[in-house]
Structures are given as structure tokens and as C-alpha cells.
Structure 1
Amino acid sequence: MANSDSERLLVTAALPYANGPIHIGHLAGAYLPADLFARYQRLKGRDMAFICGSDEMGVAILMRAIREDRTPEDIIDTYHPQIQENFARFGMSFDYYGRTSSDTHVETTQDFFRALDEKEVFELKTEEQLYDPEADMFLADRFVMGTCPICGYDEAYGDQCEQCGSSLSPTELEDPQSTLTDATPERKETTHWYLPLGELQPKLEEWIGSHPEWKNNVLGQIKSWFDEGLKSRAITRDVPWGVPVPEDVAERHGLEAEGKVIYVWFDAPIGYISATKEWAEEQGTPEQWADYWQNKDTRLVHFIGKDNIVFHCLMFPAMLMEHGDYVLPDNVPANEFLNLEGRKLSTSRGWAVWLHEYLDDFEDERHGPDLLRYALAATLPETGDADFSWDGFQQRVNGELANVFGNFVHRTLTFAHRYFDGTVPPLEAPSKADRAMLDAMREVPDAVGTAYEEYRTREAVFETMGLARRGNKYFNETEPWHTHESDPQACANTIHVSLQVCAALSVLFEPVLPSAAAELRDRLGLEDVRTSTPGEEPAGPDSRRGWDDAGTLLLAAGHELQSDPDANPLFEKIDDTQIEAQVERLRDRAEAQESESTPSTDMLDDLRDPISFDDFTELDLRSGTVTAAEPVPDADKLLRLKVDIGLDERQMLAGVAEQMDPNDLVGLDVVVVANMEPKEMFGFESQGMVLMAEEPDGTFVPVTTDAENGSVVR
């Protein structure tokens, strides 16, 4: 069960690959939710550390280096500082941001590997693996491509099929081909260490069963893995980049360590541990890391995207369990994917909003990073995929930050300066409306805090903005522009209460709007309040006011405000031309990418080998109508279709979920292969195949017909 009263808290955010810049999909998936949670916890006064760093040992790094004729070191030394700098500009409040190429990480990973080997946790297997004779290299993971044995997709990678989502190994692919040289690989014996997840499944199931409070999308994906049955996973590779297998461990088994490295998804989560060690060293307390990783009073929370669930909920916990000295995750609140302008975000197709470009474009806007933080926080894909649009961004900024929050603050401070000499007027004989507003303010910190604690971040942001909305409504209903003459004390009460609400908002909005919240506290002259920025803690006991005080009266009567009477509003509205420029750049880039990638006829797939007419007649192609379509649970790529082919109605699975809305398929008259042997995927039997044309950019288009259902297609 959740352990929210732990003595200390360790928060991690998934390590981004240091092979490219950060985009808004990354932010919405793991980083912004983690930052809001960490900032909230600091305001609560909790003992916590927020840890992240660059993942620099993956195959993706090596592939980019090979593709660009550079060294892996050059790739990571280019992107690590860029990622770190732009995270800081965006307001990410990591206590420490490390990198997995550090000596500390290599040593920590090798020690962890050695400890499991000494406990005989691993299986050692000698098997035939795919080998590229031209590159003189074994083909692990994405160095090989072929046909998926599950769904027949002919561009599946050696670790996963992007079409049906199945986890694969290179030797399972049909017609494999090296992505390095296009050579047909050979099979060659090699020996590797395996983590026996199948043997550990009962232990993992018992542990997962103790966390019914985890998000449904996380538990659902874990259940699908359990139902399928966990299998041993190789945790070493024969590639020239990664954390080397320790020589003494290899020698213990009579093997050569040269050329063997530890699999990135074994070493990457250990990066959280090594970064915590480096953070503790930086603090001058080198042994303190163990308090956060090896003390049962620690609450460990991993923020990730849904594509990392299996590694953080099964593989890493299995490693921690078998080691025996570490705490297990208390929660892994994974988010779904963020779409962009109604389409799947795709960096290869130019359909992405890059963080560094946003920060440059909005550098001159008041609290520019906060604007994106708020728009994304209000749109997080917490329980299902969500969509970011530039129009929606503008509406959030103009309609909520400027018109609601900013307007309330501006009106309140303007009246305080105009009628009360820039001081907090006394509250005397408060009216029913005054008391109701203060009562509502007192309740908000608990409501918002509960939402943060339960990883309902969008709700936390909504409730916080709700207090600003109520403040505006209260201001309008009490009409201080009238009462300053007809009933000066009523006017004073309105401004007193409104200033208290502004003070509360300066704390409650701190997690999502750290820059604007700090400016508001400065304008109010509100001191002795915790901030959510690391490194500003007092040396001794912290007596500053924080989250739990936000519902109290933070400003005493007579307190002098520090704002300029003629100060600009807290937020400025975003102009239509700014939004149009962003949309135009997005479309221009996508069109340019499409133009570059749209092949001439000599770039289309080669024609396959001829078949006989008799072979063709073996196919029973029929016309049919799609009568129903819905997503397949736990399968990101698949839709379950019902197709009326005249003779009967068939269930068919189609790997088009990421490109097509199920509702758009219903009613289509399609062509199907009616005599395919049934195949079971994700617990559903597919009784045929709906034919799709695949365009050069990977877009699927249904093959349609006007023929009567059941007609033979010849």
C-alpha cells in the first residue's frame, strides 16, 4: 500500500536518451508531472531528493553515432549539456541531474551486476544470435529489422514490433536484415547473462498485488505481461558501447569480458542510484545516498511514460528484490502519450514542438516557461492519450492565466494601492460572503494536496485555478468599486480577503508557476515562506511557512505591499500572430520532412519475387463492411474490428490504432483476406486480415470497394 507518511521521499524522472533534444511529449509524459510533485513536497517541508540524468549507454546512442559517422562520446557530449540547460530554463527543479557515462555510474552498475552474479540470480545461456559479417558485429535490438512473427509487419525491430507492440528478440524475426549494412545476418554462438523473470513472476505478482492504488493504465499493462507469462531477458549485449561486463565476473564463468556490455535497461535505472550517490557527495555527505535507497522509511516514486512501464514495474523491481539491500518503488505513476494538433507526435515526420525552440521563441514573454508549464499541466495524458494544440495553449494563457488569475491579482493590488495606500486593510465585522470566501480558501490546500499525493495532477491544477475563479467571482459580487464610497469598511473587507486569497495562490500555484508565484510573493511583500526551488533550505530547523499554511491569513492588517502601483499585470495575453507563426512553422517543417522523405519510384519498396497464378488463386479475397471497431486493451497498436463479409461476420485485428480513429473505420467497405489461418493476439483471435495500402511515409490507407459484401475480389 502507499506509504505517504515515510520519513523521506525519493522522486525520480525517467532518464532521457542523450541522442536528441527534449520535446513537449517528453515533458508531459514524465518530467513536468514529476517536477510539480517534487515542488509540492518541498512546500510541505518533506525530506526529499529529486533525481534524474541523461541515459547515455543505449543502442540509440550508438545507432545515431554510426549514422552520423561520429563517436558515441561525441553524441552524448553534444546533447547532455543541451538537455540539462533546457530543463533548467524550463524550471525543472532536480536536486541532481547526472549522466550514465560517469565513473560513479559505471562502478555502481558493475557492483550491482557483480552482487547478483555472486548470488547466482542470473542464468547463463549460450545461444545462436544474429551476426552481421560485414559489420563484424552481433545484431542486438534495433540493429536488425525483419518481419514480425506475430502480426506479419515487415519492418519490426529486433526488440519490439512497432505495429502490434509485441516484445521480440532478434532471432524471432522472419527475413531479418542488418540495419547497419543491409546484409542478411548469419547465426553465430555467443554467451549472455539472463535475468530469469519467469522464475521471479510469483514474487513480482505478490508485490504488485500489494499496490491496488496504482493507476489503472499501469496495472493493466502489468497484468497483460503476467497473463502472457514473463520470460528470461538477456541483460548483456555484444556491442561496442555500454557499461562493460566486469572482467572478474566473466572470468568466474570462464568467459572473455571483452566486447560484452550490460544491457541499457539493466544499467539505466541504476542511474538513479549512481546519481543519488553523486548528489550526496556534492552535499558533503557521501553516505547519505543510502538513507534514500536502503532505508525502509523511504518512499520511492518513479515518474515515467507508459513505454517504460515494464522496465520500472517488473525488471528494475526484480533486480532490487534479488539484490536485497534496496527499497522497492512505492508508486510508478506512468502517463500516456501526448498528441499534437490532433495527430500523433512524430519527430521523424517533423511533427513536434521542441522545448529549446519554445524557450527561445517565448523568451521575452512574462514568465514564458510558466505559460507552457501551465498549458501542459492542464492537459496531461494521465489516464489516456491527450492532445496539445497551439489554439488550446493560447486559450489557457489568455482565458485562464491572464483573464482569471492575473486579472484577479491585478484588480486586488490596484484597489489596495488606490484606496488603502498600498497596505492590507483591517478585516472587521466580515459579511457572510467574506467568511464564505475565507472558508473556501482554507479548504483548498488539502484538496489540491490530496490530488498531488494521488497523482491527479490535472485536478490539482484545476482546483488551484478554481480558487482564483472564486476570488474573481467574490470580487465582482462584493463590488468594491461601489462600496469604497457607500460602505468603506465593506470595501476594506473585500480587499483584505482578496489579498489573503492572492497570498494563498502565491503558494498554491508555486509548483506549476514557480516564476509567477515568486513574483506575486514579491509584490505582496510576503516573506518567510518556503519556495519549491532546491538549495534554499535553512541550515537548521525550517520554521518558514509552507503549503499547510496557505489556507491561513498570511498577511497581517497594516502589512505594507511591495508592488509598484503601476505594475504590469502578472501575465500578458498571447497574440494571434504568435500562434499563427507556431502553427505555420509546425506545418512547414512537416511538409519539408514529407517532401524529403517522399520517395520517387526508385525509392519505393522493391517488387517481391513473382508468384504463380495458382498461388494467387489460393487467396480468398472478399469484400466486407466494418460494423464495429474498438481498441484492444493493453495493445497500443491494435484495433478489434467486426467485419460483415456476407457469409458471416468476422473478428479481425488491425495494427492501425495509432493512425486511425475506430469511429472512422465503422461503415467502410473494405477488402479482406478471408481464408487466413486464425491467429491469437492479446487474447483475441483474428479471423482474417483487412487489406491496407502503406504509403511511403508509413501511413495506412484502407483498400476499399463498392462491391456487395461477400463478393470475391479477383
Structure 2
Amino acid sequence: MGKFNRYLITAALPYANGPVHIGHLAGCYLPADIYVRYLRAKKADVKFVCGTDEHGVPITIKAMKENITPQDVVDKYHRIIGDSFAAMGISFDIFARTSDPVHHETASEFFLKMNNDGLFEEKESEQYYDPEKKVFLADRYIVGTCPNCGNDKAYGDQCERCGRTLSPDELINPHSALSDAVPVKKLTKHWYMPLQNYEPWLREWLLEGHKEWKNNVYGQCKSWIDNGLQSRAMTRDSNWGIKVPLPDADGKVLYVWFDAPIGYISATKELTPEWADYWCKEDTKLVHFIGKDNIVFHCIIFPAMLKAHGGYVFPENVPANEFLNIEGEKVSTSRNWAVWVHEYIKDFPDQQDVLRYVLCSTAPETKDNDFTWKDFQDRNNNELVSIFGNFINRTMVLMHKLCGGKVPPLHQDTTDEADRQLLSEFAAAKEKVENSIENYRFREALGEVIELSRKGNQYLQKSEPWIYSRTIEKLNAGEEVAGYTQADIPALQAKIENCLHVCLQLTANLSILVNPFLPFTARKICHMLKVVDRMLDWENAGSDKLLSVGYSLRAPELLFKKVEDEQVTAQIEKLHAGLKKSAAENAPAPAEAATPAAPPKPEIQYDDFAKLDLRVGTIIQAEKVEKADKLLKLQVDIGTEKRTVVSGIAMHFTPEEIVGKQVTLVANLAPRKMRGIESQGMILMAEHNGKLIFVNPAEATPPGSAIS
């Protein structure tokens, strides 16, 4: 197992504000489970930890929607999520909770250590405040009308109807979700971690030391670091969460993305008294399995926290997957466009491995991928049933029919090239599967297992033991068979026994190789072969002597059953019914009379427009221009360079809230001096109801991308 003596595998902590859907499974939980099951089969010292993330604004928003307490929310969904994972065979060693006392203690101690070492900056900034409830408001506590689609239930950070990222300033008629009061800005103090201080270390450890990480992970991290890291608040104003353990911090809690990854540490503490061996010894391999939306937290912020605290190992890899779409559309929990795991288990009882197979076969390992119910049906019927299941079923049926239900001998002196070739495939397949798993290419690894079963089918079909059996029957009955005599019966019987011996040894190998992916199926095969689970140890894979000659085996059982058209139709109808119900519940109120549009400008020719060089940019710095109330000085990254732009938006935005926003820049506008500063471009803005709105791409786009 290389230089590592123990393994600590984590899967992202799911928010306890709703059930888990198949996108969650495909993103990180199934890949993590496959990897862990493989390590266990290799008898590695491995711990697999996870748990629910029970703090943060999404929890309190859910509580408000359901008119229950945040504790009620997390209790409810911790159970639903945990039951769903268990039913799908996700084999955590512990599924903890960030509301557990040991987590509160661990996170508080972690914060205090950093604070006592002087690693935080204390800063005051203006934050939104509810003057009636007398509490500060996170962006999600501010509700208003989306300027893009008119949804009057949009949040201050995102409209869940159209998906647009927002800021509270962009909302039309913003109000507090707690009281309906119009929020105001008020000074508040928070503790910030100066991430920029860790840039040199992150460049050395991550950018130089982990070039083997997946391209999507490495590229996103490099972009963040190259654009320059900023101080980030590690506390929030809230009554729900881990209270900041300082005397002058009333009403403040730890930022959820500070406390959540510490949940991996506290979960390990709950699991074993030897937790420090897994977190503090250099011969531990720490691997985080996550979705791509969590890359920055696991690859930059949490490692920087571990470095600042000291004494902990750093992740050896963070194999993040992309997103899984459903029927061609992005998963949306707010629109109920999702396949919920707990509902799948009800609709397809005892078919967990079918979903595991399909999600692994279509896993979004390098790019977003699409789940469709038709593909689910095709992969089950054409691959699991017709290839993998068919080979094992035919082998077991023929063994009972032609060999009396016992493992026949292999007659070494009569084996042919086909026998020897297939036997040699066992070890070769093991090596391929092993190499793919260890490099986090799980789709490829599963494909090798299916390919091996396909070769078994081809071998069985070409060997035709049933033909030899009929020939023996005819010869024993005194019938004449062209090319054969009674003297050929022993040789014909040897061919039958050789073929089925090889097929049974292959069946045993397939159970081992498929076990990390389809554990329920592997155990069904072991039951038919009358072997204990110990045979599934990885060291046994590749062997052609797993089943003893003369050993009686159980009757065959079908491993998979076909998915019918009616089931597919029902699931698609269910998806659309959920979408319609959600749309009805979240329909916007009748729109107010729109502000009159600006009068049209004189007509221009295409050539006039073609002269514009419009580029996507990212604001990386912002500051007020002295003695100019309306001006902000911006640094805008446009990929090939960084531009200084002076923009008259200071009455609408604070510098802090626009850093990181993507904008559209007129890149070939002649430079112009404003207040002594040379402005090298113009940012495009839109105006609606007296509010300015950034004109930006609908999705995150690399800086410098041309707009045409």
C-alpha cells in the first residue's frame, strides 16, 4: 500500500436541511464508498467518516419554511439522510453530527488555538440588520423580487427560480425574512483569517506538490491562488451554530465553513480513541471526496486552517466530481427536479446495486454528465442483466445440469488455448481494476469488471458445453454421431468440466472485483457459491483456484431483473409532477407596473458593434476613490492582464461586496483619467427601478472570454 500505514477517507458533510438525491450520491458518496470498500478488501487500516452539517443559514431557512425549530430540522433530516445512505450500502464507519457536543468542543478549541496564536484579524464592517428583530441578517435572510425573472421570493444571494447569483442590493423591494422590515446597514465586528498569508505555502504544497490532482480541482485552485487570496470572515452574526468562544462575541457563531470541515476531526474522535493517529501522523493518507462546489473549502481554506493550527496532516488528494444533471436539466431541489434516494429505495426495492451501477457508469468524473431513466433502463437490461448477470446465471445453471451441482475438475492435459486465455485474464483484470481505483477512475474500473464478464460470455458461447453433453447422451444411447465414438466420451466430458470449472472460477473472481461497486450483488454470488465473505479479500482476486473441486454449490438465483417501460414512464411522470407542484407553490405574485424602459438610442450598423471588444472579467480588488463619493477604483482580471477601471457605482455597492463578481468589460475603450487615475475600460451595467445591476455571464466563465 505504499508509504501509508493508515487511511482516513472523508465524504462531504451533507446539509441537514433536506433529503439526499442521486446527484449527491454520484458526486462524492458512491466514489468514496467504492474506494473504501477496495481498501478494506486489501486489509488496509482505514476509517471512513461523514456526518450531517447542522449549522448555517440553510438550516434556519428550512425551519422558517416548515414552521419548526432548527433543531427539529436537523433531527428530521439527519435520520432521513442516514437511512438513505445505509440503504444504498454507503458504509461509513461513523455518521456523526455537527450538533454533537464533541464537535462543539473540538471546533471551539480549534478556533481558540488560532485566536490565541494571533492568527485572526478583528475587523468592523457594515452588514445588513433587521431594525425590528434587532439581529444581523445573512444574505439568505433578505428576500425580495429578482431583477432577472420577477420571482418575488428571491433570496439575497440567489434566485432559486432562475438560478441567478444576486446580492441584497440587487433585489427589488428587499425585506427581512424575519419581520418584513426593510434591512439597514450597521457596523459589526468579526474575526477574519488572512488567507493571503498562506499563499506562499499553498503554492508550494498544492500547486507544486500536487500536480497529479484532477484537472478540475487543480485548475480551480490555481485560479483562486493566482487571483490573490483575501481575508475571509470566520464568524457570523447568528443565534444558530457554535458560539464564538470569546467574552466579547455575543450573538456570534463560527462560520459554517470553518466549523464543518472540523466535523471530520470530531467524527473521528467519536469513532476511535486513536483518532490522533489518523489526523496527526505523517504516514496517514487523508483523502476528501467532494463535489466541485466544495473545492475551494477543502483545498484552500481547510488546509490553510490545518497549517495555521499545526499538528495535522494535509489531504493527499481531493478527487472532486462535477455535477450530475437529470433528464438534460440541472438538479434543482427548490424546483423539486431531483431523484430522491429515499424515494428510489421505495420504488425499486432490493435494486440498490442497479442505481450504484448506473451512477458509477455515468459518473461526472471529468465533466457534468446526465442521468436519464431510459439510460438507467438500458444499462440495467443490456449490461447488468444481459452481460454480467447472464454469464453467472448460465454458469450456475449449466453446472447444476451438466456437473451435478458440484465444482468439476480442470483436466490440465486437455485444456485448450481458449481455457488458458480466459484463466490468464483473471490476474490481468485485477491489475487494471486496481490501477483505475487507486487513480480514482471508478468508471474505468467498473468497465473492466463488465468487460471480464463479457469475455466469460464469449468463452462460454464458443465452448458450447451443452453440445458436448448432447453428443455424450446420443453416444450412450447407441446413436451414431459423425466424428465421434464411444471412446471419445471421456474427452468430451473433460471439455465440459474444463469449461465450467473455468467459468466458476471466473464467477468467484467477478464477485471479488465487483464487490467495491456492487456489494449486495457480490454477497448474493457468495451465497450461491457457498463461500464466506472472506473470499472477497482482494488478495484472492486473480486466482484460478478459489473454488475446490467437488464442492457442492447452491441453486442459481437471478442477480438482476429487467426494468420495464412502464417503470421508466412512471419515474419521468413523477419528475414532472414534482416540478409542476413546486412551480405552483413558488409562483411569483402579480408583477408591479414596470419602470418605463429607457428610450431607444439611434440605430447603428453591425460594423459599429463589431468594433467593441467585450470581455468577461473578475473584480479582484475594489476601493473607494478619495474625495469622490460616486467612484470606485477596481482591479479587473481579464485573463491576459489585470486592468484598472474607475466606475461610478460607489452609491450602489460597497467595495467588499463586489470582490469576486464577474463583469462585462469594454476592453478596447480608450484610456481616460478620472480623479488622476487612468481608467482602462468600462464595466457594463443595467438599471432597473433605480438600482444598478451588473451585466455578467449566467455561469462562471474564465476571465478574458470574449463576448460576441
TM-score range for the pair, normalised by the shorter chain length: 0.7 to 0.9
1:354 to 327, 332, 340: 340
- In structure 2, the partner of 1:483 is 468
- In structure 2, the partner of 1:265 is 257
Structure 1 position 420, deviation (Å): 0.9
Check 1:479–1:170 CA distance in 2 against 1; reply closer, same or farther (3 A cut).
Answer: same
Matches within 5 A, 1:156-171: none
1:625-658 residue CA offsets vs partner (Å, 9 max, x unmatched)? xxxxxxxxxxxxxxxxxxx876546546599xxx
Structure 1 position 597, deviation (Å): 3.3
Partner of 1:592: helix, strand, or coil?
Answer: helix
1:448 aligns with 2:426: no
Structure 1 position 518, deviation (Å): 0.3
Structure 1 position 579, deviation (Å): 1.2
2:590 to 600, 603, 608: 603
2:497 to 492, 497, 506: 492
Letter of the 2:253 counterpart: V
Structure 1 position 143, deviation (Å): 2.3
Partner of 2:359: helix, strand, or coil?
Answer: helix
Tell me the distance in 1 between the aligned counterparts of 2:237 and 2:408. Answer: 73
1:577 aligns with 2:566: yes
Work out whether residues 51 and 95 of structure 1, in 8 Å CA contact, stay in contact via their aligned partners in 2.
yes
Tell me the distance in 1 between the aligned counterparts of 2:686 and 2:466. Answer: 69
Tell me the distance in 2 between the aligned counterparts of 1:214 and 1:357. Answer: 35
1:389 aligns with 2:372: yes
Matches within 5 A, 1:348-427: 348-363=334-349, 367-427=350-410
Work out whether residues 508 and 547 of structure 2, in 8 Å CA contact, stay in contact via their aligned partners in 1.
no
Structure 1 position 174, deviation (Å): 10
1:555 aligns with 2:546: yes
- In structure 2, the partner of 1:659 is none
Q: TM-score, normalised by structure 2?
A: 0.80
RMSD: 3.5
Structure 1 position 603, deviation (Å): 2.6
- In structure 2, the partner of 1:225 is 224
Check 1:240–1:302 CA distance in 2 against 1; reply closer, same or farther (3 A cut).
Answer: same
1:22 to 4, 20, 32: 20
Structure 1 position 383, deviation (Å): 0.5
The range that moved more, 19-28 or 64-73, is 64-73
- In structure 2, the partner of 1:59 is 57
Letter of the 1:229 counterpart: G
1:387-422 residue CA offsets vs partner (Å, 9 max, x unmatched)? 000000011111111110110001101111111111
- In structure 1, the partner of 2:301 is 315
Check 1:442–1:203 CA distance in 2 against 1; reply closer, same or farther (3 A cut).
Answer: same
Letter of the 1:211 counterpart: H
Letter of the 1:343 counterpart: E
Check 1:448–1:607 CA distance in 2 against 1; reply closer, same or farther (3 A cut).
Answer: same
Work out whether residues 4 and 299 of structure 1, in 8 Å CA contact, stay in contact via their aligned partners in 2.
no
- In structure 2, the partner of 1:108 is 106
Work out whether residues 156 and 166 of structure 2, in 8 Å CA contact, stay in contact via their aligned partners in 1.
yes
Work out whether residues 373 and 512 of structure 1, in 8 Å CA contact, stay in contact via their aligned partners in 2.
yes
- In structure 2, the partner of 1:35 is 33
2:71 to 70, 73, 87: 73
Q: Which segments of 5 or more consecutive residues in structure 2 lack a partner in the other structure?
A: 472-491, 619-646, 650-657, 668-682, 689-694, 698-708
Letter of the 1:457 counterpart: F
Work out whether residues 337 and 578 of structure 2, in 8 Å CA contact, stay in contact via their aligned partners in 1.
yes
1:296 aligns with 2:278: no
Partner of 1:126: helix, strand, or coil?
Answer: strand
Check 1:189–1:648 CA distance in 2 against 1; reply closer, same or farther (3 A cut).
Answer: closer
1:330 to 303, 316, 319: 316
Tell me the distance in 2 between the aligned counterparts of 1:142 and 1:212. Answer: 37
Work out whether residues 94 and 271 of structure 2, in 8 Å CA contact, stay in contact via their aligned partners in 1.
yes
Structure 1 position 107, deviation (Å): 0.3
Structure 1 position 482, deviation (Å): 1.5
Check 1:77–1:155 CA distance in 2 against 1; reply closer, same or farther (3 A cut).
Answer: closer
Check 1:391–1:166 CA distance in 2 against 1; reply closer, same or farther (3 A cut).
Answer: closer
Structure 1 position 172, deviation (Å): 10
Tell me the distance in 2 between the aligned counterparts of 1:147 and 1:324. Answer: 46
Letter of the 1:240 counterpart: N
Structure 1 position 169, deviation (Å): 8.2
Tell me the distance in 1 between the aligned counterparts of 2:332 and 2:160. Answer: 13
1:601-634 residue CA offsets vs partner (Å, 9 max, x unmatched)? x5336523x57xxx534x577697xxxxxxxxxx
Structure 1 position 304, deviation (Å): 0.5
Structure 1 position 42, deviation (Å): 0.6
Check 1:265–1:4 CA distance in 2 against 1; reply closer, same or farther (3 A cut).
Answer: farther
Tell me the distance in 2 between the aligned counterparts of 1:690 and 1:113. Answer: 41
Structure 1 position 556, deviation (Å): 3.9
Partner of 1:321: helix, strand, or coil?
Answer: helix
Partner of 2:316: helix, strand, or coil?
Answer: strand
Check 1:530–1:555 CA distance in 2 against 1; reply closer, same or farther (3 A cut).
Answer: closer
Structure 1 position 202, deviation (Å): 1.5
- In structure 1, the partner of 2:128 is 130
Check 1:318–1:64 CA distance in 2 against 1; reply closer, same or farther (3 A cut).
Answer: same
Work out whether residues 237 and 263 of structure 1, in 8 Å CA contact, stay in contact via their aligned partners in 2.
yes
Tell me the distance in 1 between the aligned counterparts of 2:360 and 2:63. Answer: 34
Check 1:572–1:161 CA distance in 2 against 1; reply closer, same or farther (3 A cut).
Answer: closer
Partner of 1:293: helix, strand, or coil?
Answer: helix
- In structure 2, the partner of 1:306 is 292
Structure 1 position 592, deviation (Å): 2.7
Check 1:402–1:346 CA distance in 2 against 1; reply closer, same or farther (3 A cut).
Answer: same
Work out the percentage of aligned pairs sharing the same amino acid: 48
Tell me the distance in 2 between the aligned counterparts of 1:172 and 1:116. Answer: 36
Work out whether residues 523 and 533 of structure 2, in 8 Å CA contact, stay in contact via their aligned partners in 1.
no
Structure 1 position 314, deviation (Å): 0.6
1:279 aligns with 2:262: no
Work out whether residues 146 and 154 of structure 2, in 8 Å CA contact, stay in contact via their aligned partners in 1.
yes
Letter of the 1:91 counterpart: G
- In structure 2, the partner of 1:696 is none
Tell me the distance in 2 between the aligned counterparts of 1:381 and 1:620. Answer: 48
Q: TM-score, normalised by structure 1?
A: 0.80
Partner of 2:534: helix, strand, or coil?
Answer: coil
Check 1:4–1:177 CA distance in 2 against 1; reply closer, same or farther (3 A cut).
Answer: farther
Letter of the 2:389 counterpart: G
- Give aligned pairs, total: 614
Matches within 5 A, 1:191-210: 191-208=189-206, 209-210=208-209
Tell me the distance in 1 between the aligned counterparts of 2:32 and 2:76. Answer: 25
Work out whether residues 301 and 332 of structure 1, in 8 Å CA contact, stay in contact via their aligned partners in 2.
yes
Structure 1 position 5, deviation (Å): 3.5
Partner of 1:529: helix, strand, or coil?
Answer: helix
1:421-446 residue CA offsets vs partner (Å, 9 max, x unmatched)? 11111112321111111111111111
Partner of 2:583: helix, strand, or coil?
Answer: helix
Work out whether residues 129 and 170 of structure 1, in 8 Å CA contact, stay in contact via their aligned partners in 2.
no
1:285-321 residue CA offsets vs partner (Å, 9 max, x unmatched)? x2x0011001111000000011101100111000000
Letter of the 2:560 counterpart: F
Matches within 5 A, 1:78-89: 78-89=76-87
Work out whether residues 652 and 689 of structure 1, in 8 Å CA contact, stay in contact via their aligned partners in 2.
no
Q: Which segments of 5 or more consecutive residues in structure 1 lack a partner in the other structure?
A: 281-285, 532-545, 625-643, 656-675, 694-699, 703-714
Structure 1 position 228, deviation (Å): 2.0
Tell me the distance in 1 between the aligned counterparts of 2:198 and 2:33. Answer: 33
Structure 1 position 225, deviation (Å): 1.0
Letter of the 2:210 counterpart: H
Check 1:99–1:138 CA distance in 2 against 1; reply closer, same or farther (3 A cut).
Answer: same
Tell me the distance in 2 between the aligned counterparts of 1:398 and 1:500. Answer: 25
Work out whether residues 528 and 557 of structure 2, in 8 Å CA contact, stay in contact via their aligned partners in 1.
no
Partner of 2:599: helix, strand, or coil?
Answer: helix
**Higher gyration radius (CA):** 2
